[in-house]
Amino acid sequence: MVIDDALRARIESEMRSFPEPRGALLGALHRVQEELGCVSSEAARELSEIFAVFPVEVLELVRFYNFFSEEPRGRHQVTVCTNLPCALVGANDLLCGIEGHLGIAVGETTPDGRIHLGREECLGACANGPMMRIGGDYHEDLDLAAACAVLDALE
């Protein structure tokens, strides 16, 4: 069991506030990601049992959304939006620059486990691109120097 009793109780109480219990599945995935650092296949299987869905239905959500990962990632999740509005103002160059600065490629974690770098779909900050998200924080109107300064300040 990777989902302990306390977490399970929270998930089950959220299920009760939805007319369709499986409406709480996305929220449950967020809880699991936050508390366990990832949605491992054990966790996904346990969720599928709690929600009485097929395990692959949980996997469909985990792999659809960027918020979830199947293995633990670095301490900081850094994602750069590369959808069209950001791409038009240089998001792909920014991402390349960040890759160079950190010495890792998109999808990888720095060897010290500090930063995991990812690509992001639109976060609704189109007017202030390019942008990146670190955990719950948005960093907007970035150029490479500004982005690197933010990254270097992360512990």
**In whole angstroms, how close is the CB of 114 to other proteins at the nearest point?**
27
Q: Does 63 bind other proteins (CB under 8 A)?
A: yes
Q: Cα(135)–Cα(117) distance, rounded to whole angstroms?
A: 11
Helix or strand run (H / E) with residue 36: helix 25-36
Choice from 18, 23, 54, 84 touching other proteins (CB under 8 A): 54
Binding residues for other proteins, how many (CB under 8 A)? 12
Tell me, rounded to whole angstroms, the distance of Cα 45 from its chain centroid.
Answer: 20
Q: How far is residue 84's CA from residue 20's CA, in Å, rounded to a whole number? A: 35
Cβ of 134: how many Cβ atoms within 10 Å? 15
Tell me if residue 115 falls in helix, strand or coil: strand
Q: Does residue 9 interact with other proteins by CB under 8 A?
A: no
Which of these ranges, 13-21, 59-67, 106-114, 136-144, lies near other proteins under the rule CB under 8 A? 59-67
Closest CB to other proteins among residues 56, 153: 56
Q: Does 117 bind other proteins (CB under 8 A)?
A: no
